[in-house]
Amino acid sequence: MTYTLQPAAESHAAIIRKMVTGAHLNPADLDWRHFIVAVTPEGGVIGCGQVKSHRDGSRELASMVVRRAYRKQGIARAIIERLLAENPPPLYLMCRSRLGPFYEKFGFRIITIDEMPRYFQRISKLAGLLGLLSRRGETLLVMKRE
């Protein structure tokens, strides 16, 4: 699979939003200027990810999506590695519990609620109250890379 990684352009904003919402990820703070996109030679966006900042000063690896037809080809890994190279620690992320082992390969570790910045504490508590993932047998993990 041939693709290039590049900073997103304004013309990618709508496709980024569509990919993130289609993957049932948090659609808040989808500023295209924070994204890296994986693009085919024909110009199609096949993957994206960002690092976004929160009011409490924490930064989050977020909005990681690779189109289904292009998964298991190292595209997510390439996007993550690029974002990690451009954004020094500490970085946080939230993911479904089944994805924890994938992110551990990049140096992220699961943290307790006491270790979380305020933003992640609020989201973690809200997810627990709503039981958002428990119906699928999963939990929400908050992870940190130092």
Q: How far apart are CA 145 and CA 92, in angstroms?
A: 6
Q: Which residue ranges make up each domain of the chain?
A: 1-88, 89-146
Give yes or no for a contact between 24 and 43, defined as CB atoms under 8 angstroms apart: no
Q: How far apart are CA 116 and CA 125, in angstroms?
A: 11
Question: Looking at residue 137, what is its pLDDT?
Answer: 72
Q: How far apart are CA 74 and CA 77, in angstroms?
A: 5
Listed in sequence order, the residues at least 6 apart from 30 whose beta carbon sits closer than 8 Å to its beta carbon are 13, 16, 17, 20, 50, 63
Q: How far apart are CA 16 and CA 35, in angstroms?
A: 9
What does pLDDT average to in each consecutive run of 10 residues of the chain (146 residues)?
95 97 91 97 97 96 97 97 97 94 98 95 78 67 96
Q: Given 3.40.630.30, 1.20.1070.10, 3.40.50.1970, 3.40.640.10, which CATH number is that of 1-88?
A: 3.40.630.30
Question: Looking at residue 14, what is its pLDDT?
Answer: 97
Question: Looking at residue 6, what is its pLDDT?
Answer: 98
Question: Looking at residue 124, what is its pLDDT?
Answer: 86
